[in-house]
Amino acid sequence: MPLPALLFEVFTLFPEVFEPYLQSSILQRAHQRGLVEINLYNIRDWTSDRHHITDDEPYGGGGGMVMKPEPIFAAVEGVLGWPPACPVILLTPQGRTFTQSVARELAFGDDTSVPDQTRRLALLCGRYEGVDERVRQHLASDQISIGDYVLTGGELAALVVIDATARWIPGVLGDPDGVLDDSHASGLLEYPHYTRPAEFRGWSVPEILLSGDHGRIARWRREQSLLRTWQRRPDLLETAPLSKLDRKFLDQLKTSFISDEPEGSSEATGSDEPAQPPGTS
Ligand code: ADE
């Protein structure tokens, strides 16, 4: 079997949480093809006391329990050596926000010129109220949050990171261009998709998609992406790479909104969806 492109070393108190998802998704196929490998380690196996204790009360008092540093350091050191042989990512609500571009950065690292090399990443899942601060300071080389909310542990966050990162590896998705078309890959939300039947309960597929005119279809899709992004996530337009044509289309959208036509203008959008100002749809 060739070396996997991506190897995750996951440190957790709940390895059983990962298995059902990893065995029933595209990730399982990626594993069978030798593209992505995931090793699960139970931090409890590195405790040295009779009761296998992994948490303790916080110094200074207060509620909740804190994960002890010794088993975490021992587990990571036992698997990755010291200093750790690869980046160690702590999943925590205090980390940098996980986005599609962070997923891509994790998949390819700084070194996109050596595609044959395995990229190894360690994911460290916290539990309870948190982990001893010395783990954050002296063991983690990166900290990632999957959003501004608090989960009961880092396991779901680690699965999110594994899934979104693995999708970037060539061969993981059936369609090699799939990841490039995704929402967020271009900095915009994705255009709408339709499949057969052409009419369902009286709702028709937009005529243009049946036209066979690939140039017009590509432009329509681009405009739909721009429209949706303007309606739902206008913040993304500030950083998305936009062509002159894109900017012209967005200007038209804004003008049609300012002119305040009764149903919004579907002229600029060529869409059934009325043009809505940002934040109202
Ligand atoms: N652990 C608890 N909440 C989390 C979050 N939002 N992201 C990553 N890890 C977490």
The reply to whether 16 falls in a domain is yes
Average pLDDT on 3-28 reads: 94
Q: Give the chain's domain count.
A: 2
Do 224 and 144 share a structural domain? no
C-alpha–C-alpha distance, residues 154 and 129, integer Å: 11
pTM: 0.89
Same-domain check for residues 155 and 45? yes
Where helices occur in the chain by DSSP H, the ranges are 18-22, 26-32, 69-80, 100-108, 133-138, 155-166, 178-181, 214-232, 244-258
**Which of 142, 151, 156 to probe ligand 1 with, by most ligand atoms within 8 A of CB?**
151
Looking at residue 44, its pLDDT comes to: 98
Q: Of 154, 176, 198, which closes a domain?
A: 176
> Residue 104 contacts by C-beta under 8 Å, 6 or more apart in sequence?
168
Calculate how far, in angstroms, residue 75's C-alpha sits from the geometric centre of ligand 1.
Answer: 21
C-alpha 118/C-alpha 103 separation (Å) is 16
> Do 123 and 36 belong to one domain?
yes
What pLDDT digit, counting tens, does each position of 221-238 carry? 999 999 999 999 999 999
- Which stretch of DSSP H or E encloses residue 6? strand 6-12
pLDDT at residue 267 greater than cutoff 50: no
The three-class DSSP label of residue 131 is: strand
Q: Is 206 exposed, middle or buried (0-12, 13-18, 19+ CB in 10 A)?
A: middle
Distance 174 CA to ligand 1 centre (A): 30
- 21 and 112 share one domain: yes
**Which one of 176, 192, 224 terminates a domain?**
176
Residues 197 and 159 occupy one common structural domain: no
Give me ligand 1 centre to Cα 278, in Å. Answer: 29
Per-residue model confidence (pLDDT) at position 265:
40
One-letter identity of residue 199: E
Query: Is the pLDDT confidence value at 116 over 80?
Result: no
Q: Give me 241's structure tokens.
A: 């790479």
* pLDDT digits 0-9 by tens, 66-98: 999 999 999 999 999 999 999 999 999 999 999
Ligand 1 contacts (CB < 6 A) are 91-93, 126, 145-147, 149-151, 154, 157
* Beta partners for residue 143, in sequence order: 90
1 lies in a domain? no
Do 32 and 152 reside in the same domain of the chain? yes
Are both 234 and 121 inside the same structural domain?
no
Domain with residue 255: its CATH number is 1.10.1270.20
Closest to 281 measured CA to CA, from 261, 245, 257: 257
Per-residue model confidence (pLDDT) at position 257: 84
Can you give the CATH number for the domain in which 128 is found?
3.40.1280.10
Local confidence band at 127 (pLDDT 50, 70, 90 cut-offs): confident
> Is there a domain that residue 199 lies in?
yes
Residue 100 lies in a domain: yes
By alpha-carbon position, which residue is closest to atom 4 of ligand 1? 93
Whether 53 is in a domain gets the answer: yes
Same domain (yes/no): 93, 116: yes
Residue nearest to ligand 1 atom 7, measured at CA = 145
Pair 208, 144 in one domain: no
Mutate to test the pocket of ligand 1, among 106, 143, 149, 150 (most ligand atoms within 8 A of CB): 150
The whole domain housing 194 covers 183-281
Q: Does residue 268 share a domain with residue 171? A: no
Are 154 and 188 within one domain?
Answer: no
What is the reported pLDDT for 42? 98
Domain end position, chosen among 176, 191, 218: 176
- Residues marked as catalytic: 93, 129, 167, 182
Q: Does 281 map to a domain?
A: yes
- Are 170 and 197 in a shared domain? no
